[in-house]
């Protein structure tokens, strides 16, 4: 299978944020885009209320030139609105899903998707593709209510985590994992694999075979899913041998304790010298997966000087201990959701975001 993973020249990943409706946020984002001479998509997929939403956006951003577009408009009127937006006469296009595909406006690099929890993962990925089509940094804001369906939140987290260019294939795999791929061992189009997810099904199958062969019934640690915007790999000028590099990657993937990770870190320093930042980040990611899994963490997203930690629904973390650990490394912890617990961390000083996060979580295990 061939994958196209090289983006067009000068393209940057679209910064994707999951946010509640906030007039101040909308005003600031639209003002920032207009100040740099750009345009904005505002997607609201309800025709009966789209004019009211457009009026509200106009009150929030009074200097913006706003137009409405939806599929029930007369053909000529819709064509006129789209032509005005493409030509730059309209600053903010409030529209339904009709902008999902077939529209190339390089000057539009900010998008809002209202009630993003009502959209499918493929739809949101297509929508996000309408921005970021030039050299400018693009932003996509997924506006959601404070309380939403757990499946919807999982879909949105996938999009928030996978912002790198060429992430479509990984998003498609996660979509299949969440929705299920049918019964691999029979003719059914649904079944056990659909209930637990593709990736978990394969892990369960592998563990069951291992237990039957070895007789070892000890439960296996479920690692946390970690995504970061920091380069994490083994540079060629650090590990020149491809065989050695593959061996280290293989050993990292099979780590099951922080002690084994520290031993590997010492070995790498002894064999190849001090760790460059990408190699150190690779080991930090592995440590976060291990310590996060031990604490019942489902996912960790690191972006700039901020991080978001989401626990499994079955986890019972102690908020007092978490607050103390993050305070010790000069992180501000903000509860974004109580059940399952989701924390937003902001680095205030001290060590880097990765080092501080690893130290805090290591102290909690």
C-alpha R_g of the chain? 23
Reported confidence tier of residue 190, pLDDT bands at 50, 70, 90: very low
Angle 154-26-148 from CA coordinates, rounded to 5°: 25
Task: Give pLDDT, residue 113.
Answer: 94
Shared domain for 50 and 104, answered yes or no, is yes
Strands 306-311 and 331-337: unpaired
Residue with the bigger pLDDT between 123 and 184: it is 123
- Looking at the fold, whether 161 and 197 belong to one and the same domain comes out as no
Query: Is 1 within the bounds of a domain?
Result: no
Find the CATH number of the domain harbouring 108.
3.40.50.300
- pLDDT given at position 318: 85
Which of 221 and 356 is assigned the larger pLDDT?
Answer: 356
CATH of residue 318's domain is 3.90.1150.50
Whether 169 and 197 map to the same domain: the answer is: no
Is 6 within a domain? no
Boundary (domain end) residue, out of 218, 245, 273: 218
- Residue whose token pair is 């694999």: 193
Assess contact for 96 and 45: CB atoms under 8 A: yes
Question: Do residues 141 and 45 share a domain?
Answer: yes
Pairing of strands 15-19, 139-143: parallel
**Residue 7 · residue 166 · CB < 8 Å:** yes
Cβ count near 7 (within 10 Å): 13
DSSP state of 46: -
Work out the angle at residue 240's Cα, subtended by the Cα atoms of residues 236 and 245, and round it to the nearest 5 degrees: 85
For residues 204 and 339, membership in a common domain is answered with: no
Residue tagged 């106009």 (tokens): 58
Residue 365 pLDDT class (50, 70, 90 cuts):
confident
- 211 and 268 in a single domain? The answer is no
- What string of DSSP letters covers 287-319? HHHHHHHHTTEEEEEEETTEEEEEE-TT----H
The rounded percent of the chain whose pLDDT value lies above 70 is 84
Residue 103, SS3? coil
- Taking residues 263-288, what's their average pLDDT? 92
Give yes or no: residues 253 and 351 share one domain: yes
Domain coverage including residue 150: 15-175
Q: Tokens for 317, please give them.
A: 């973390």
Q: Are residues 127 and 236 in the same domain?
A: no
Pair 163, 301 in one domain: no
151 or 181: which carries more pLDDT confidence?
151
**Residue position matching structure tokens 């010790």:** 328
- Per the structure, the count of domains in the chain is 3
- Tokens of residue 6, six digits: 């090289």
In a domain, 4, yes or no: no
Express as a percent the part of the chain with pLDDT over 90. 39
Cα of first residue to Cα of last residue in the chain, in angstroms, is 41
Is 90 among the domain residues?
yes
Q: What is the mean pLDDT of residues 160-176?
A: 68
Burial of 142-179, coded b for 16+ CB within 10 Å and e otherwise, reads: bbbeeebeeebbbbbbbbbbbbeeebbeebeebbebbe
24 and 148 share one domain:
yes
Query: Which residues in 119-133 are b (16+ Cβ under 10 Å) and which e?
Result: bebebbbbbbbbbbb
Coil vs helix vs strand at 189 = coil
Is 5 part of any domain?
Answer: no
Question: What are 252-267's pLDDT values in tens digits?
Answer: 888 888 888 999 999 9
Tell me the pLDDT tens digit for each residue of 52-110.
999 999 999 999 999 999 989 999 999 999 999 999 999 999 999 998 877 788 999 99
| Domain boundary, last residue among 192, 218, 244 | 218
- Per-residue pLDDT tens over the stretch 60-72: 999 999 999 998 9
In this structure, is residue 9 part of a structural domain? no
Q: Which residues contact 26 (CB under 8 A, 6 or more apart)?
A: 57, 60, 61, 112, 141
214 and 230 share a domain? no
Kindly state the tokens that stand for 120.
Answer: 């499918």
Closest by CA position to 159, among listed 171, 150, 146: 171
Residue 10 domain-assigned (yes or no): no
Q: Of 218, 245, 278, which residue constitutes the final position of a domain?
A: 218
Is 7 inside a domain boundary? no
131, 66: one domain: yes
Residue range 231-255: mean pLDDT, rounded? 88
pTM comes to 0.54
Mean pLDDT of the chain: 84
Structure tokens at 232: 């994490």
Instruction: Give the largest CA-CA distance in the chain.
Output: 71
Strand partners, 93: 41, 67
């Amino acid at each position: 299978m061939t994958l196209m993973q090289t983006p067009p020249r000068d393209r940057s990943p679209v910064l994707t944020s999951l946010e509640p409706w906030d007039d101040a946020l909308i005003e600031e984002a639209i003002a920032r885009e207009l100040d740099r001479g750009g345009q904005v998509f505002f997607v609201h997929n309800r025709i009966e209320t789209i004019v009211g939403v457009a009026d509200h956006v106009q009150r929030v951003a009074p200097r913006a030139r706003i137009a409405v577009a939806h599929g029930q408009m007369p053909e000529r009127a819709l064509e006129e609105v789209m032509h005005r937006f493409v030509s730059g006469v309209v600053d903010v296009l409030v529209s339904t899903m009709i902008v999902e595909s077939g529209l190339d406006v390089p000057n539009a690099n900010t998008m809002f998707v209202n009630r993003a929890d009502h959209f499918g993962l493929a739809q949101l990925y297509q929508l996000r593709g309408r921005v970021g089509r030039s050299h400018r940094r693009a932003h996509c804001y997924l506006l959601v209510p404070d309380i939403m369906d757990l499946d919807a939140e999982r879909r949105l987290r996938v999009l928030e985590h996978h912002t790198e260019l060429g992430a479509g294939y990984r998003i498609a795999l996660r979509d299949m994992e969440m929705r299920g791929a049918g019964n691999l061992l029979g003719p059914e189009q649904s079944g056990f694999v659909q209930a637990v997810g593709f990736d978990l099904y394969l892990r369960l199958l592998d563990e069951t075979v291992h237990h039957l062969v070895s007789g070892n019934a000890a439960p296996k640690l479920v690692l946390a899913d970690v995504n970061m915007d920091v380069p994490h790999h083994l540079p060629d000028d650090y590990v020149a041998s491809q065989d050695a590099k593959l061996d280290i990657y293989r050993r990292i993937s099979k780590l099951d304790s922080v002690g084994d990770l520290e031993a590997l870190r010492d070995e790498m320093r002894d064999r190849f010298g001090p760790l460059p930042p990408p190699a150190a980040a690779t080991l930090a990611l592995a440590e976060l997966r291990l310590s996060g899994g031990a604490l019942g963490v489902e996912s960790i997203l690191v972006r700039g000087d901020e991080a978001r930690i989401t626990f499994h629904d079955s986890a019972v973390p102690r908020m007092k201990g978490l607050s103390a650990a993050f305070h010790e490394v000069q992180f501000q912890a903000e509860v974004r959701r109580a059940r399952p617990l989701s924390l937003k961390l902001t680095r205030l000083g001290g060590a880097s975001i990765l080092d501080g996060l690893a130290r805090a979580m290591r102290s909690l295990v």
